[in-house]
């Protein structure tokens, strides 16, 4: 029913953004339909009373009168906008509408009467009888036209409020995501500088290479600040640059395994989503042990979802300890970004592995940037 009413309102008034010619055609169609209905009703009534008639004058009279009313309805709708029946103002404005209904009915009778006299002079009654017959109908029609105008106006305002609310929610979400991402930059920079300082005196050449790679990494991070999502391929390139820095620091103490499904390479993922997870894994599984450790990064397509995983062979967390309590900003930030971007369509799991170590699993909707949609089919 709601869709039917909206469709009628769209036909009668049309949205502000409708093409003018299409809007005009729709309106003419509606008024023509009304003329056809009333003409048909008149002819059926005459047939029921077994009275002879000529159909052409009836059709022409109804068409002319409804088209005249269409022109008058433009003035009525403007009048209705000028005197809205909103809460708090309807008592003052309803009197103006009562006067407007009387004027509109009289004006319609004064324009319709000569037309009907010209079309059907023998069947059109005297002016006083014509007024008595048509005044009530035109009076009611004024109110129906005004109500339709108000209904459309309220619908338009409702759509505008919905659109404004959606834009506000989107702006707040984008702002939240930006704050979450900006939290990572000083955090990452602090940890990277600590790594450099550990090498400055022990291995100056390695520290120099590390500073150069760090500059490239920070430049790439800053260049992508405005982008919330990037292809997984780009995210992995950034991660490899970070891992090169860590390899300089930890040498053979850091072992990295990458297992990437080719179908997932062009899938969209949150920008800078893997680096903090890998950083956490290195800090808790590699740097705390003299023998180092292993970090495994994987990506695979699971139906209509993308799974990203970061696993390590470190000590994990104590029994019953919340994942974020021992893994710092990275996990809490990642969980918040996923929830803000994908809502209920994502899943975040951080847990100890059965065989030892720790893992973080990210499940998000599988989607591609425009122009890269074909990658999905190509990979499968």
Q: Model pTM?
A: 0.52
Q: For residue 67, what are the CA distances in angstroms to 31, 33, 212, 361?
A: 7, 11, 78, 67
Q: Are residues 96 and 219 in the same domain?
A: no
How far is residue 272's CA from residue 356's CA, in Å, rounded to a whole number? Answer: 27
Domain assignment of residue 7, yes or no: yes
In the prediction, which pLDDT does 216 show? Answer: 74
In the prediction, which pLDDT does 15 show? Answer: 47
pLDDT tens-digit series, residues 122-144? 667 777 777 777 777 778 878 87
Nearest to 361 by CA among 349, 370, 351: 349
Q: Are residues 136 and 67 in the same domain?
A: yes
Domain assignment of residue 194, yes or no: no
Q: Are residues 128 and 15 in the same domain?
A: yes
Quickly list DSSP for 184-220. Answer: HHHHHHHHHHHHHHHHTTT-HHHHHHHHHHHHHHHHH
Q: Are residues 251 and 115 in the same domain?
A: no
Q: Are residues 13 and 88 in the same domain?
A: yes
Nearest to 254 by CA among 209, 284, 275, 234: 284
Sign of the CA dihedral with 285 first, then 291, 295, and 296 last: negative
Residue carrying the six token digits 């339909």: 33
In the prediction, which pLDDT does 177 show? Answer: 57
Strand 347-352 vs strand 293-302: parallel, antiparallel, or unpaired? unpaired
Domain assignment of residue 171, yes or no: no
Q: Are residues 120 and 256 in the same domain?
A: no
Domain assignment of residue 184, yes or no: no
In the prediction, which pLDDT does 305 show? Answer: 95
Residue carrying the six token digits 């509408």: 97
Q: Are residues 105 and 160 in the same domain?
A: yes
In the prediction, which pLDDT does 26 show? Answer: 65
Q: Are residues 124 and 239 in the same domain?
A: no
In the prediction, which pLDDT does 143 show? Answer: 82
The 8-class DSSP code of residue 48 comes to H
Which residues of the chain carry a pLDDT beneath 50?
Answer: 1, 4, 9, 11-18, 325-326, 373-380
How many domains does the chain fold into?
2
In the prediction, which pLDDT does 13 show? Answer: 47
Of 140, 165, 190, which closes a domain?
165
Domain assignment of residue 240, yes or no: yes
Q: Are residues 79 and 217 in the same domain?
A: no
Residue 67 lies in domain:
2-165
What CATH number corresponds to the domain at position 232?
Answer: 3.30.565.10
Q: Are 338 and 364 in contact (CB under 8 A)?
A: yes
Q: Are residues 246 and 358 in the same domain?
A: yes
Q: Are residues 149 and 211 in the same domain?
A: no
Q: For residue 171, what are the CA distances in angstroms to 160, 272, 346?
A: 16, 20, 21
In the prediction, which pLDDT does 14 show? Answer: 47
Of 146, 165, 184, which closes a domain?
165
Q: Are 278 and 311 in contact (CB under 8 A)?
A: no
Q: Are residues 146 and 239 in the same domain?
A: no
Of 143, 165, 187, which closes a domain?
165
In the prediction, which pLDDT does 20 show? Answer: 60
Q: What angle (nearest 5°) sits at the alpha carbon of residue 270, between those of residues 269 and 272?
A: 115
């Amino acid at each position: 029913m709601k869709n039917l009413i909206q469709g009628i309102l769209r036909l009668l008034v049309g949205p502000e953004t409708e093409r003018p010619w299409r809007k005009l055609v729709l309106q003419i169609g509606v008024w023509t339909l009304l003329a056809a209905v009333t003409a048909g009703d008149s002819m059926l009534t005459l047939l029921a009373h077994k009275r002879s008639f000529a159909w052409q004058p009836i059709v022409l009279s109804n068409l002319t009168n409804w088209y005249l009313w269409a022109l008058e309805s433009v003035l009525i709708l403007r009048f209705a906008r000028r005197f809205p029946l909103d809460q708090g103002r309807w008592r003052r404005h309803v009197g103006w509408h009562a006067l407007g209904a009387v004027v509109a009915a009289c004006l319609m009778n004064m324009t319709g009467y000569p037309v009907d006299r010209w079309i059907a002079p023998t069947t059109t009654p005297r002016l006083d009888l014509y007024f008595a017959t048509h005044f009530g109908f035109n009076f009611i029609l004024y109110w129906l036209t005004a109500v339709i105008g108000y209904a459309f106006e309220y619908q338009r305002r409702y759509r505008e409020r919905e659109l404004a609310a959606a834009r506000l929610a989107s702006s707040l979400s984008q702002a939240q995501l930006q704050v979450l991402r900006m939290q990572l930059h000083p955090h990452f920079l602090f940890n990277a500088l600590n790594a450099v300082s550990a090498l400055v005196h022990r291995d100056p050449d390695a520290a120099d290479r590390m500073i150069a790679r760090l500059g490239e990494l920070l430049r790439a991070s800053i260049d992508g600040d405005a982008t919330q999502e990037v292809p997984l391929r780009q995210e992995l390139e950034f991660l490899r640059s970070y891992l090169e820095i860590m390899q300089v620091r930890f040498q053979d103490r850091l072992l990295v395994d990458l297992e990437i499904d080719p179908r997932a390479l062009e899938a969209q993922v949150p920008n800078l989503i893997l680096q903090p997870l890998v950083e956490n894994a290195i800090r808790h599984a590699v740097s705390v042990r003299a023998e180092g450790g292993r970090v495994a990064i994987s990506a695979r397509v699971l139906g209509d979802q993308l799974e990203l995983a970061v696993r390590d062979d470190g000590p994990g967390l104590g029994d019953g300890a919340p994942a974020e309590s021992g893994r710092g900003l990275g996990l809490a930030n990642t969980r918040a970004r996923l929830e803000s971007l994908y809502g209920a369509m994502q899943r975040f799991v951080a847990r100890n592995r059965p065989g030892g170590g720790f893992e973080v699993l990210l499940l998000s909707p599988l989607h591609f940037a425009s122009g890269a949609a074909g990658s999905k089919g190509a990979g499968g």
